[in-house]
Amino acid sequence: MNTLANGQFNQLKGVIRGTILQTNDAGYDEARTVWNAMIDRRPAIIVRCAGTADVRACVAYARDHGLPLAVRGGGHNIAGSALCDDGLVIDLSGMKSVQVDPQQRRAWVEGGATLRDFDHEAQAYGLATPLGINSTTGVAGLALGGGFGWLSRTLGLAADNLLSAEMVTADAQRLHVSAADHPDLFWAIRGGGGNFGVVTRFEFQLHPVGPEITAGLIVFPFDQARAVLAQYRDAVDAMPAELTVWAVLRKAPPLPFLAPQVHGQEVLVLPVFSPVPGEAVNAAIERISKWGEPLGMHAGPMPYAAWQQIFDPLLTPGARNYWKSHNFARLGDQAIEVVLRYAANLPTPQCEIFLGLLGAQASVPATQATAYPHRDALYVMNVHTRWDDAADDARCIAWARDFFKDAAPHASGGVYVNFMPQDEGERTLDAYGTNYQRLAQIKMQYDPDNLFRTNQNIRPATGTTA
């Protein structure tokens, strides 16, 4: 365990404008709590930074004293990369400013902002950029891993809409990175995660979206799931980019448009979303509802910001969570059978399997255009195992791992880095594929000592190999 003399600690206090917490301070336990309750780490120091100068001071301090270093944005990462044991945590949660220029359609977003913070400011002007599906997620972690959500088929990934960033590198220097400034580093942070430094501010391209969009849920009984998923699979190639349909298998939550007797039963839910007015997509949504005989559906115009928050009640903090994920270039009959077999035996009522549909604009850039390489992934499958009692850890994790193993022969081999739990470090090569070697070279240039390693780590290249 790292211990710091009073003089060393006072050295840090003297250069920090924000708040510093140690293990015995009030608020320490709250500050080390993240979304996934399975993560239980005890940093030596947590610094709630007030600005970039604080971030620079923390990076220099951790480097000079040999401390493990972690960076907390939204604290939502499944692997718990926001925390480290016996080290220093740079907590950006107080740095959540979002500034919007509606004329230039630009947003400048600090590293601690959440999706809700972003939407609140951008939607005031009817603007958005592709982000995730849970409003409590941090913008930083999502975008640095690539970042996909409801708008990605229409507008690409979050990383595709990143115009520039301000970041602090391992030498504690502040850099402005863009296509013109440090373009290698700009390439790396668009999908390379937190491996290259602390991004204190992002600049995103904005697009006209909302405030009203078209969205909703279509719920089918589980005994129709096989037929509905087959029709879903067969329809996606012709689906317009302005329409996104995901598939979620879980026990029915108490949705008000479902009969009470359906609540808690296994169902297939198709969330549908389009940024265009209802009259342009109503016919397509109606056709989707005819793939089976729905138990209920609720779809129509609603505020974009409300849709971005609609799944928050199913993703509240405090539960134990374990994920396994595969990418699929296609959804064959055998893959569907594996999904159905495990969906019929969910270990807890909170568990779900979802297939997030990408393609369209998300697949347009070349594999090497950004660090995120999975442009061929039509579906991103996440096995979201969720429970409350630690006594259920072994049973729930085993279910997820078994599912992952049985689905692997039908997957394309890649994985979305933001969906990797803490025990999947060996899949980093799967996350970056042919882009890994270039990332390792850039890592060697900007972080040769691997200071930023509390993540799905890209190790610095040695010579010409990683």
Would you kindly state where each structural domain of the chain is located, as residue ranges?
10-91, 98-208, 212-425
State residue 11's pLDDT score: 84
- pLDDT bin (cut points 50, 70, 90) of residue 463 is low
If you average pLDDT over every residue of the chain, what do you get?
Answer: 96
Cβ atoms of 58 and 70 within 8 Å: the answer is no
Which of the listed CATH numbers 3.60.15.10, 3.30.465.10, 3.40.50.80, 3.50.50.60 matches domain 98-208?
3.30.465.10
Structure tokens at 65: 């004293």
Asked whether the predicted pLDDT for residue 391 surpasses 50, the reply is yes
Which is nearest to 79 in space by CA: 450, 344, 428, 363?
428
- pLDDT bin (cut points 50, 70, 90) of residue 296 is very high
> What SS3 state is found at 287?
helix
State residue 8's pLDDT score: 67
Mean pLDDT, residues 289-297 = 98
Unique residue bearing structure tokens 């138990």: 295
- pLDDT bin (cut points 50, 70, 90) of residue 1 is very low
Tell me which amino acid residue 402 is: D
Asked whether the predicted pLDDT for residue 279 surpasses 90, the reply is no
Which is nearest to 34 in space by CA: 383, 316, 308?
316
Residue pLDDT, tens place only, 39-66: 999 999 999 999 999 999 999 999 999 9
State residue 6's pLDDT score: 56
State the Cα–Cα distance between residues 386 and 168, nearest whole angstrom. Answer: 35
Mean pLDDT, residues 227-231 = 98
C-alpha distances in Å from residue 389, one per residue of 143, 250, 265, 266, 396:
32, 19, 22, 22, 10
Q: Regarding beta strands 352-357 and 266-274, do their DSSP bridges make them parallel or antiparallel, or are they unpaired? A: unpaired
Q: Which residues contact 25 (CB under 8 A, 6 or more apart)?
A: none
- pLDDT bin (cut points 50, 70, 90) of residue 278 is confident
State the Cα–Cα distance between residues 263 and 231, nearest whole angstrom. Answer: 25
CATH topology of domain 10-91: 3.30.43
2-11, 129-138, 271-280, 395-404: segment of lowest average pLDDT: 2-11
Cβ atoms of 75 and 138 within 8 Å: the answer is yes
Q: Which CATH code is given to the segment(s) 212-425?
A: 3.40.462.20
State the Cα–Cα distance between residues 197 and 170, nearest whole angstrom. Answer: 6
Structure tokens at 293: 């005989």
State residue 466's pLDDT score: 34
- pLDDT bin (cut points 50, 70, 90) of residue 197 is very high
Residue pLDDT, tens place only, 159-185: 999 999 999 999 999 999 999 999 999
What is the layout of strands, in order, in the sheet containing 174-178? 98-101, 106-110, 198-205, 162-168, 174-178
Unique residue bearing structure tokens 């863009």: 178
Structure tokens at 99: 């500034």
Which is nearest to 141 in space by CA: 83, 74, 93?
74
